[in-house]
Amino acid sequence: MQRRVSVMGRAMDPGEMEQALRDAGCTGEDIACMMENAGDPKGLLTLLARHRAALLEEVHRGEKKIDCLDYLIYQLKHQL
């Protein structure tokens, strides 16, 4: 029987936690590492925060690309 994992004071089935990590974009390697640290809330929080920061960086890179496209669109519209 799999041990339940406590996440934010709530007992979570390990399969449920793995699915949540997959949904958050974690790789299989990330998930295995996080599941190994499930009994260490501080260690798990560090890993989750690291993954969150990486996702946020992706968002910021995407925003910069959108800004570049918006500038090009603006310039083209003003040439018409």
pLDDT tens digits for 42-74?
999 999 999 999 999 999 999 999 999 999 999
Q: How confident is the model at residue 2 (pLDDT cuts 50, 70, 90)?
A: low
Residue 26, pLDDT > 60, answer yes
Section 22-32 average pLDDT: 96
Measuring CA to CA, how many Å separate 25 from each of 17, 56, 71? Answer: 13, 12, 30
Contact 4, 11 (CB under 8 A): yes
Contact 12, 4 (CB under 8 A): yes
Global pTM value: 0.77
The whole-number pLDDT of residue 13 equals 87
